[in-house]
Amino acid sequence: MAQLPLIIFPKPKQIPPPKGTPFSPSKPNFPNKNTQITRLSPQFNSLADKGILGDSIAGAEPEMVLVIETVGRIDKFQAAISNTPGLEWLAEWDEEFDSDTDFYNTNSKGLRVDKPVEGRLFLSMSNQQGLNELLNLWNSWQNNQELLFGKGKWKEVFEQITTIRRWGVQEQFIETGMLEIWQEDLEYSSEEFVNFQIEFFYRKDRTRRTQNESTIKVVIEAFSGSLISPFIDYNEIGFHAVKASLPKKSIQLLIDKINNNELDVDLLKLPNIMFFRPTGQALTSSPEETQTIEIAPENPVDGVPIVAILDGVPFSQHDWLKNRLLVDDVDQLEAEYQRGDRKHGTAMASLVVHGELDAQELPLTRPVYFRPILQPDPQTRDREEHVPDEVFYEDRIERSVRRMFEGEGIVTAQAPNVKIINLSFGDPSRLFIHSPSPCAKLLDWLSWKYKVLFCVSTGNFSENIDLGFTEDGFYLLTDGEKTKITLQTISNTSLSRRLISPAESINSITVGASHQDSSTITNMARRIDILPTQQILPSPVNRLGHGFRRSMKPEILMAGGRQLFNPPPVGKSFKLSLGSFPPGQKVASESNEGERSASSYTCGTSNATALASRAAAKIYEVIEIIRNENPEVIQNDQVAVLIKALLVHGASRESADTELQKHLKTSTNSRQFKSFSSKFIGYGYPNIDKVLACTEQRATVIGCGFIKERQVHEYRFPLPPSLAISNLWRRLTITLAWFTPINSNHRYLRKAKLFFEPPKKSDKLHLERKESDHNQVQRGTIQHEILESRKVSDYQDGDELVITVQCNADATDRLDEEIPYALTVTLEVKEGINVPIYQEVRELIQLQIKAKQSLV
């Protein structure tokens, strides 16, 4: 099959934005005023009776955080808060509420529809003046008095409030899992002190933040504890935190107080604390056992690195890695390692450089920049690699990336040409719930600032799986029955399988693992494959999406190894098998003897992410060829976003979707099954070879641009004459990717929303949308659409398919930045059919370019 180069769109034409009234969603039903007064009066009376709890703590002004939960849309409420003396805006989150007799959705006929009601959760800091102002506004609204100028928005708020209350221990301790973890530490840990993380509400006033730091220091010392880290303060992502340590007796006191609802101790009364969270981010270690592999082949290494890995220290002198890594161990973490400890970083480096060793692929030709940020934990049995309790891994990531692109101190930029950063670990204690974690926001900010693509893993789910069968009972099932039961079990545990930080990052590519590898199984022993199917399916260790605002997460699956399980000796819980022999993905490893040719087999989403970074590096080399031949076509700040687009562009979920439908589709989820299945497989498994080159029957055209708010860029994809008046099967794939600046104070976070409208059934190719949900694809920073048809096309020679890229402001009133984006479009028919799609599209694109040049 001939490998033909990608085609380049001419520079897009800027056209006026479309006219029309923006879509306005219907309002849910609200209770009448008297009902609202009856519902809310006890809540407001409780606030009035308690006032601002307590006296000043360590000199801090008494305050509290108000939680206002509302149903429906309330625009510009932030301005109403700002115009109310004593109230300070903190945050706003999207929420869903169960419908009840007062709040429910209605259809176009005004009839009730039983589905969750959309709403918001507003957080505001209040002192006594602010509380008094709020109560006065409530009393005025109750008594039908006109609200003062600038306060009118409160009328809308009072009409739509479901709950108004104080922020407290439920959010700070219970929902974060901190209380449960503390109880486990008291029961099982032999340590005398318990470490934890304190996250503050981010105050805009630096003086307030400084006061919070002084206050928490005094309060922690009063509990016989200490601060174990410096304060971290990132204005760009609204993150202010510190790590602390308390003796077990103080932890027991706090637990007793919380359980008895006795919140009269200073640490429980501090209003500025948003969350208490556990510290430390552990990784599942690679297997201990290793075997010897053949001598690494000689392949030259040249050029500057364009891929970086942030991970544990690698065994850089391994035969298969020697001279291929530029290790920048500025924190001297290698000194913390013993022989045999360098596991995870070595495996990730091996996969990025070589892919699966069993697949016998050629290595990357460029060196890989490697910045260690993890180190062994001497307190764990297997010395698992982690970030120690006294360190913020957000800080290590930010310092590492800044050192790459700007340098550090007197040190110059260490890897300024990097376009892809591999991050194959996460924080298992921080499941994604409704708002992005500080680390996810950090990746978004760094990605925008440096125009670099992060490849991030979803994280592994390593707990036992209860399949409802004993070992003997499971063996009696057919392969189809085993697959069905496993998928149903995974689906039923989706809440505990949520993504872990920072996988919800909106600018990054999040990668899940598929249940496949290139190994040959020689001995199953007593291990069981609980997903015995020939179809590409998500690995049973995968964590599941969706992402922020129900966006597509993970975006793609890459091979993560066939993870086998050990049958239960008793009961019905199957346990992960961590042996080092096949199946799995063969990687270079460090043995306890330190030999330089050791290998082992591993599985997981970390592996899949490393393979995604490797694929991204291959895409980069194709882009470089294009840039060398057409220097003005792709700017440096567009390279990473083009890699992002092409990495997803070849993805399809067709075979996996068929299998998921067969086993998981029900009458309950059938109408939303596209969205339901996307949390398992995202956009699907990418065929990277398809985006590296074209064939005679497949033409891929790429375009890049910078776009501003309310601008529309028009691209014209020429329709090949050979498909006119034809009923040949044809597929059109369109992928749009961009990097967005973020607004950490806004519930949408994403400041730039880009989108295109795919062709409709009535258009010239009579295409029909396949695979993904049409709403979900516009919620992140990648819109990937697949359209197919076998109907007779209806166009003339010279007709074109018009694709418009539009840009709107999202989490901001005004978008001042230019947004880099990439658009990729592929039209294909089945290979082997004598239809010269590529030749015709390429010639017509060249005519477009010549026509534009003649107008200059």
171-279 — its CATH code?
3.30.70
pLDDT digits (tens, 9 = 90+) for 533-583: 888 899 999 999 999 999 999 999 999 999 999 999 888 999 999 877 899
Question: What is the band of 297 on the pLDDT scale with cuts at 50, 70, 90?
Answer: confident
Q: What is the pLDDT of residue 287?
A: 58
Structure tokens at 207: 């003086």
Instruction: Answer for the pair 369, 308: CB distance below 8 angstroms, yes or no.
Output: yes
| Runs of H (alpha helix) within 318-458 | 344-354, 393-405, 438-450
| Closest to 807 in 3D by CA, of 703, 709, 737, 705 | 709
| Average pLDDT value over all residues in the chain | 92
Question: What is the band of 856 on the pLDDT scale with cuts at 50, 70, 90?
Answer: low
Partners of residue 788 on adjacent β-strands: 731, 768
Range ranked top by mean pLDDT from 100-114, 168-182, 324-338? 324-338
Residue 563: other Cβ atoms inside 10 A: 26
Contact partners, residue 226, CB within 8 Å, separation at least 6 = 220, 244, 245
Partners of residue 753 on adjacent β-strands: 808
Is it the case that residue 174 has pLDDT exceeding 80? Answer: yes
pLDDT digits (tens, 9 = 90+) for 672-726: 899 999 999 999 999 999 999 999 999 999 999 999 999 999 999 999 999 998 8
Domain spans of the chain, in order of start: 7-21+694-855, 33-167, 171-279, 299-644
Q: What is the pLDDT of residue 70?
A: 92
| Closest to 251 in 3D by CA, of 197, 189, 179, 198 | 179
Q: What is the pLDDT of residue 60?
A: 67
Angle at 847 between CA 841 and CA 851, to 5 degrees: 145
Top-confidence residue, 290 or 255:
255
How many Å apart are CA 707 and CA 817, to the nearest integer? Answer: 9
Q: Which helix (H) or strand (E) holds 544?
A: none
Q: What is the pLDDT of residue 447?
A: 98
Question: What is the band of 415 on the pLDDT scale with cuts at 50, 70, 90?
Answer: very high
Q: How far apart are the first and last CA of the chain?
A: 39
Contact partners, residue 813, CB within 8 Å, separation at least 6 = none
Question: What is the band of 587 on the pLDDT scale with cuts at 50, 70, 90?
Answer: very high
Top-confidence residue, 113 or 64:
64
pLDDT digits (tens, 9 = 90+) for 718-758: 999 999 988 999 999 999 999 999 999 888 999 999 999 99
Question: What is the band of 803 on the pLDDT scale with cuts at 50, 70, 90?
Answer: very high
Q: What is the DSSP letter of 75?
A: T
Pairing verdict, β 385-387 and 368-372: unpaired
Residue 788: other Cβ atoms inside 10 A: 17
Q: What size, in residues, is the chain?
A: 856
Instruction: Answer for the pair 40, 738: CB distance below 8 angstroms, yes or no.
Output: no
The pLDDT of 309-332, averaged and rounded, is: 96
The pLDDT of 417-434, averaged and rounded, is: 93
Q: What is the pLDDT of residue 689?
A: 95
Could you confirm whether domain 299-644 is CATH 3.40.50.200?
Answer: yes
pLDDT digits (tens, 9 = 90+) for 276-286: 999 866 555 55
Chain centroid, CA 791 distance in Å: 38
Top-confidence residue, 853 or 421:
421
The pLDDT of 653-666, averaged and rounded, is: 91
Q: Nearest 5°: phi and psi at 833?
A: -80, 135
Give the CA dihedral 622, 555, 825, 451, nearest 10 degrees: -50
Q: Residue 307 carries which side chain, given as an amino acid letter?
A: V
pLDDT digits (tens, 9 = 90+) for 98-127: 888 888 888 767 778 777 888 888 889 998
pLDDT digits (tens, 9 = 90+) for 6-60: 999 999 999 998 876 555 455 688 899 999 999 999 999 999 888 775 555 666 6
